[in-house]
Structure 1
Amino acid sequence: MPYQEVFVLFWEQVKESIQEGRFAKLTMAKTIGKPELKNIFLRPVYSDKGFKVLLKFRYRSRDTEDQEQELSLEEALEVIKPHIKNPFLSVLLFTTSKDVIFKVNKKGVGSITETFPSFQNVTQAKSDLE
């Protein structure tokens, strides 16, 4: 199945974990080559204004400062989608009930696997933007 279709199924699990209060973190990893951008992270931010995520770009070079912004889940999706397959080949969803791994292979085929949870509790992100 093309990775775009599999990613839609994966993203449904992201939304479900947030609705159920199980979302701990999302990490984009495993890059093609050694691009300047090393990882993209999403961490939960719960507030009176509703659920947001802290989107963090982590760079390989120590000279480049990490960038953070607080976004709605829909806004974060629009930011991360262009990075799937170029350069990131995997997206890891960490929840308190399971870890869900989305991968894209060299042929552009997506897959989802599940493993035991890495996180037992949800830790809210502390934004430097406040």
Structure 2
Amino acid sequence: MTAWLKLVPSWGWAALVGLVLAALVGLGQQIRVNSLQGDLTAERDARIEDAGKLGACRTTRTNLLGQVIEQNAALVDLRASAMERAARAKDLQQQAEVEAQQADQQAQQVLQERTPSGVDACAAASAAFDDELRRERAQ
């Protein structure tokens, strides 16, 4: 049985073994390359998905930044209008205080002018105010 092995020279057997080993190594490398290509495809898909998420986040950030700018502008407007209202209210309050003082002074004058001595002050004040109101209505 081993006689036919002797028909092939030793260098032929060495070449055949070399070819088989080369084929096995090549097959192993091909399997490894295919595996790495699969990993590369998965990694690329993950990066593409991450890039899409990043783009969506940047768009959202831009939108939110625009909204914050609008809100800040609205707050500035609200503060300005609040300050204007406070200034107007202060002016109106001062004006009302001046008018109240004037009305009080007029009331005191009316009481002093129309209160005869020895007369009930309350009755005299009531009569004086009634007379003053009649005069104002007549004007």
> TM-score w.r.t. structure 1 length?
0.17
Structure in which a larger fraction of residues adopt helix:
2
RCO higher in structure (CA 8 A, sep ≥6): 1
Structure in which a larger fraction of residues adopt strand:
1
> TM-score w.r.t. structure 2 length?
0.16
